Structures are given as structure tokens and as C-alpha cells.
Amino acid sequence: MAGRIITVAQQKGGSGKTTLAVNLAVALHGRGHSVALVDTDPQGSMGRWFIERMQAQGEDEAMDFSTSSAWGASYESEKLKKRFDYVIVDTPPKIDSDLRPALRVADLVLVPVATSHVDLWATEGVLDLARREKAPVLVVLNRVRPNTRLSVEVAEKAVELGATVANTQIANRVVYAETLGVGLGAIERARTGPARDEVTALTDEVLSIIG
């Protein structure tokens, strides 16, 4: 059976795309799945994370990394899904025709939205482009400050835009930044606690959609 492709996209920078992508990858890997990461963002944060991981843990046949141009993302992803259970594509913080190949091949598009109205406004372009490519979308409230009225408002507005919003919210926790810098996922540092619970719950949601 061919693997599934998950594209992480958001027009606004600072939404936590790479953090979401690598934590999902680590969680899927931890459940026994093979995962390929594809970085189409020239900033290269995902690649830096992977290098740190390789230096600390050595090579792992069940987790691979490659870079691609935005236009080459569809070819690279389709190639990798023949060998891996999941392919996770990190995209640049912009929405234009270059993003279409990564959306077109996606079994699921994850759209992280930091809890501000500015971030929500930026999401409209992603949702519109994903609809044109007939790609299923899951909006994930990211870097959330718990128990704030703003996060509730942003979630409500996202639904009004026609988006499916994940039940799981990812809070603004130091552990996500700390582990990103050393090539880990939050669940590898936090064996118990809220960060692990968040990543586990989000992974469950993703799998319930794409299997």
C-alpha cells in the first residue's frame, strides 16, 4: 500500500510549521511507521533539525530527509510514498502557484494557526488554494495560550471560513523550541505531561482522517 502525504502549509511566517511537522514525524515514527521528510522551504529549518538528529542518533532507515523545490514537491513526494508509510512536506511561508504541487498530492493539508487574528487572515489564502486543488485541510491552533478568549474566537472564525479545526490545540510550550534545536520531538523529551498529550492527541486525529 502506498504511503500517505501530509503537507504543512501557512502563508504567515512564525506559525510553527516546522515544529508541527517534525513533532508529527517523531510521533508517527514512534508508533512504528516509516517517515520521509521533504523540505521545500529555503530557510531549511527542517533540514537543520534532521542533521542534529542524525548527529545525535545516527542513521535510521525508518526516517529519511530530502529537499525539493516547491515545483518538485509533488514528484519527490510521490516517489517517497512508494517506500515510506508517511511523507511530510514542509512548505515556505507564502501562498502562490508554487505551492500547488505540494497541495495537489496531499492526502491531508495541515494548517497551523497561531492564535491571532492576523494569522487567521493569512489562512484564507491557504484554504482557498487547497480548495482549488481539492485537498482536505485540518487547521491546527498552534502556540496557543490556554484558557484565553482569543483562542476561542480564532477557532470560531476558522470554522466560519469553512475550515475543519482540530480538536487538539498545541500550546506555547518551551519544550517544543528546546527539542527542535537538538533534533528531537517533544514526546522524546517529555515522557509524560501536557506536551506529550498534545502531540499524541493530534497524531490520533491525523490518523483518524488519513489512516
Q: Are 67 and 73 spatial neighbours (Cβ–Cβ below 8 Å)? A: no
Full-model pTM: 0.94
Mean pLDDT over 66-73 rounds to 92
What's the mean pLDDT in 128-135? 90
- For the chain, which residues make up each domain, given as ranges? 11-205
Q: For the segment 136-165, what is each residue's pLDDT rounded down to a tens digit?
A: 999 999 998 876 787 788 888 888 888 899
Phi/psi for 143 (5° steps) reads: 55, 40
- pLDDT tens sequence across 36-61: 999 999 999 999 999 999 999 999 99
| CATH number 3.40.50.1000 is the correct assignment for the domain at 11-205 | no
DSSP reduced 3-state for 182:
coil
pLDDT level of residue 95 (50, 70, 90 thresholds): low
Per-residue pLDDT tens digits for 190-210: 778 999 999 999 999 999 999
